[in-house]
Structure 1
Amino acid sequence: MLKINGPAIIEPADQKKLDDIPEVDRPKKWDTSRTNAIKNFKSAIMTHGLKNQDNRCAWCTLPVGGTGRRTAHRDHIAPKKLYPKWTFHAKNLVVVCEYCNGFSVKSDLDTVKTEKENYDDIEFFIVHPYLHETEKHIRFREQEGDEPGVVVEGLTPEGIWTVNKLKLQSDGLTLLRAKELVFYRTINKLPHHFQRLLNQATGRQ
């Protein structure tokens, strides 16, 4: 999974309007409201996520959007249905693929071990992309340098929980990461101008 340096920056006026929404109403407002504050918040989350995550899913690390032909979703780390207070808290959201965010994987999975008044003090079952040093909890075996990882394993109780609950070690995801590695190694053997053209065509950096 990815380590993300910081959350999206939300305009203070928009955040004030979102904070004024009663906690119990926030999940429904997220799904149904079209106010400017909510639209601006969602846009900031998606724009920041795609840029800072290099168009990759925070959980499985595979490409999203046009790069990977996997739909980009905004995922509430502590699910809004269970923890409505954090619905519009930028640090509670990451950009993920539709598979990792789907009903068969994360959906409304309870990721919180102990809830606290302040978000940064919450104890999570899941490895948190903003709050935790992810490489201490999860690693890709035999990963070299900047190459994409293939076989994932948990190193701590939080890492093992995350790998198992999000099915990061599934055959399908492992095969897709292996294809990414083959692409990476192949493209690096091409002449520089071909590398540039292929990277531009596929949306890779």
Structure 2
Amino acid sequence: MKKLKVPAYNWRVVKELKRYALTTKAKDPWGHGKKSSKDFKREMTGLMLVEQSKRCGYCGCRLFEKRPHRDHIAPKEDYQQWMFWPENLVLTCFTCNTDLKKSFDPVVTVGHTYRLTEFSFVHPYLDTPADHIVFTSAGLDLIIQEKDGSLKGKKTIEIFDLASVERSKQRAKDIMHDEDVEHLHGNYRDLLESAIEALQAKLVTVKARFPRAGD
């Protein structure tokens, strides 16, 4: 995971879509909107895939879905003014969006602008993950925890189940098969190298105990 950059988009179009979301009588302006809203969704998805390097904006794992989920960080049902706001949209994996976040509302206090709004978990665009979440290394294990008692870090780990065994295994698989480690929190390169060294040492020990015939 890393702090993401908001994809550049035509702000005139964004403002027009904001007015549309607030004034339309359509029951589902996001799902069944007009041509400009459909174009916006398609183009934003392409831009986010590039910016996020095909990784989930919440857990940082690879997006393997053919059609990644577009999540409204602040739920579109409750905050129609941000339905088409680029900073409120992020691509996520099925687990983070459907199984875990669901309809959770992370907004603590609505500010005068989106950027002045307070969120309860680490915001993909507004927060730096390493300020709230850290990893520590214990042999082959990478343990995740909140940094310096960060409430945002704690909430993020809780909501997206980041400390679970299965999610840790998925992160490990991504790390082992991908050199793109800048998406990970903190000093992951050092932790990765430590884990690899520990794994190699373990393999040497196993080979010494169980040599193959002819070796």
- TM-score between the two structures when normalised by the length of structure 2: 0.72
| Partner residue of 2:89 out of 69, 90, 93 | 93
The letter of the residue matching 2:108 is K
Would the alpha carbon gap of residues 41 and 99 (structure 1) be closer, same or farther in structure 2, given more than 3 Å must change? same
Q: What residue number does 1:30 align with?
A: 30
Given the alignment, which residue of 69, 76, 80 partners 2:72?
76
2:176 is matched by which residue type in structure 1? V
Contact kept, 8 Å, 2:109 with 2:117, in 1: the verdict is: yes
**CA displacement at 1:15 relative to structure 2:** 2.0
The answer to whether the 8 A contact 1:74-1:93 is kept is yes
The percentage of counterpart residues that share the same residue type is: 30
Select which of 133, 150, 154 maps to 1:138. 133
Provide the alpha-carbon RMSD of the alignment: 2.4
CA gap of 1:157–1:22, structure 2 versus 1, over 3 A, is: same
Q: What runs of 5+ residues in structure 1 fail to find an aligned partner?
A: 144-148, 186-205
Tell me if structure 2 keeps the 8 A contact 1:100–1:106: yes
1:159 aligns to 2:158 (yes or no): no
Deviation by residue 1:144-188 (Cα, 9 ceiling, x = unmatched): xxxxx9543222110101110121222221111122233248xxx
Please report how far the alpha carbon of residue 36 of structure 1 lies from its aligned counterpart in structure 2 after TM superposition: 2.1
Alignment of 1:99-178 (within 5 A): 99-102=95-98, 104-142=99-137, 150-155=142-147, 156-178=150-172
Distance (Å, rounded) in 2 between the aligned partners of 1:153 and 1:71: 30
2:10 maps to which residue?
Answer: 11
SS at match of 2:69: strand
Q: Residue 57 of structure 1 corresponds to which residue in structure 2?
A: 56
Q: Is the 8 A contact 1:8 1:44 kept in 2?
A: no
Q: CA deviation at 1:109?
A: 0.4
Q: Which has the larger Rg? A: 2
